[in-house]
Amino acid sequence: MFLLKAVKEFASGFLQAAKQAWWVEISTHEPQCLYYFGPFARSNEAEAACPGYIEDLDGEGAIGVQSSVKRCRPIALTIVDGQPY
């Protein structure tokens, strides 16, 4: 189990460094936040994870939740009112 985790972390790091990683980007209107979840090796893995992230934010009372899956390299995992958090 430890070896599998180590390999997955290495692969995620490699994908991130190569800018090939897929990320879930979720924005909320209230509070005004931008969240990044990932990295994922495949877009379908990121898509499959979206409902869980959205459900968590809905449960916390977020309003105006929108999501997308994209290849990117976020500068921060959470951005509040335009500022990295």
Residues in the chain: 85
Judge residue 26's burial from the number of C-beta atoms within 10 Å of its C-beta, 0-12 exposed, 13-18 middle, 19 or more buried: buried
pLDDT recorded at residue 85: 87
| pLDDT over threshold 70, residue 28 | yes
Instruction: Say if residue 76's pLDDT is above 90.
Output: yes
Side by side, which strands form the sheet with 22-28?
66-71, 22-28, 33-40, 78-80, 83-84
| Mean pLDDT of the 72-81 span | 95
Q: What is the arithmetic mean of pLDDT over 61-85? A: 95
CB 39 within 8 A of CB 12: yes
Mean pLDDT, range 14-33, rounded to an integer: 84
Provide φ and ψ at 4, rounded to 5°. Answer: -60, -45
59-to-19, 20, 21, 65, 78 alpha-carbon distances in Å = 32, 31, 28, 11, 18
pLDDT of residue 65: 97
Q: What is the pTM of this model?
A: 0.77
- Give me the percent of the chain exceeding a pLDDT of 70: 78
